[in-house]
Amino acid sequence: MQISKAVTIALNHINAWSRHDWETTREQISDDIHALVTNTQPDFARIAEISGADEYMTRKMKSARQIAPGSVRVIATFGDEKNAMVLVTFKIGLGPSGSMVTMARSCLYSVDEHNRIREERDQFLLFSE
């Protein structure tokens, strides 16, 4: 099965931020990126809205630095030329006192005419094993 263009862009983006390659991460987003992050867990904000590349990078760098190196696992991908959904898990230090827990995350992306991510929607769930 061939991976679509949008899925390839999304996977490259996830690979970049999970390895703390901030230059590549920034190159893959549009200047006017818009992102929403949601969850249903009581210890976290129910929704975070992010607008613009500077705010996006500030938040992405803060959160991605808490991810255990090499722990990102792609579970499934779906997409076409302009839209992608990627389901991933990884270890992140958001448990009690910063302990490592597993985050399951659904990442939905829309890419623009320059093959940059313009819209991102993330939903996540944290659980300990």
Predicted confidence (pLDDT) per residue in 24-34, tens digit: 999 999 999 99
DSSP state of 68: P
Tokens encoding 105: 């995350």
DSSP E strands, the chain? 29-38, 47-51, 73-79, 83-92, 101-111, 117-127
Q: Residue 97's pLDDT is what?
A: 83
Tokens 């929403």 identify what position? Answer: 36
Res. 43 pLDDT band, cuts 50 70 90? confident
Cβ atoms of 94 and 105 closer than 8 Å: no
Instruction: Tell me which architecture the domain covering 5-127 has in CATH.
Output: Roll (3.10)
